[in-house]
Every structure is written in structure tokens, then in C-alpha cells.
Amino acid sequence: MVTQIAEINIKEGANEAFEQGVAKAVPIVMQAEGCHGISLNRSVEFPLRYRVMVRWESVDHHLVKFRASEGFAQWRALVGPYFDGIPSVEHVVDVPLPQ
């Protein structure tokens, strides 16, 4: 399992519209093959910066299968208009820690 971290900067004044766009896109992303969850956070220090985190079975489920799907086009149509620049995308794996 990997977590996609998409760091997205949005246009001034677009916070509400962007957050609503992500909320509308949740069922679309969740239907994608190999998708196991999506979350959204907003930076305290940079209020126009968000991170969308999506759990995938593998990097290829995201970059190969999802990116080529109709779901990705729908996602971009819902949230892309609010982007300020191109999001940066990285994938991470959990490192187990004692709790």
C-alpha cells in the first residue's frame, strides 16, 4: 500500500470552491481500482496550499490505471480550474513505529 501526496496550491479566493470540488470528487476517486481512501488537509502557514492524500494498492494503480481513466478526467474537471500551477505528486510508504 502507498499513499499519494499531491501538494496543490490554489488561486486566491478559491478555497471554498476547491474544497467543494474535492468533496464532489470523492466518490469518483473512491471508485477507482485499488483506491483505499482519500483525505484532504489545508496548510496553516500557507492557507492556499492543500495536500490531497490518497491510499492506493500500488503506485501503478494511481499513475497508470487511474491517470488513464475517465475518473481522472472528472477529478481534474472538478478541481483543476482552481489550481495555481502544477501540483507536485509524490508517493510514500508507511514505516511502522512502536506506539
Size of the site for a second copy (CB under 8 A): 31
CB-wise, 33 or 90, nearer to a second copy? 90
Buried b / exposed e over 44-70, threshold 16 CB at 10 Å, is: eeeebebbbebbbeeeebbeebbbeee
* Region binding a second copy by CB under 8 A among candidate stretches 33-41, 68-76, 77-85: 33-41
Catalog residues that contact a second copy under the rule CB under 8 A: 2-3, 5, 19, 22-23, 26-27, 30, 37-46, 50-51, 59, 90-95, 97-99
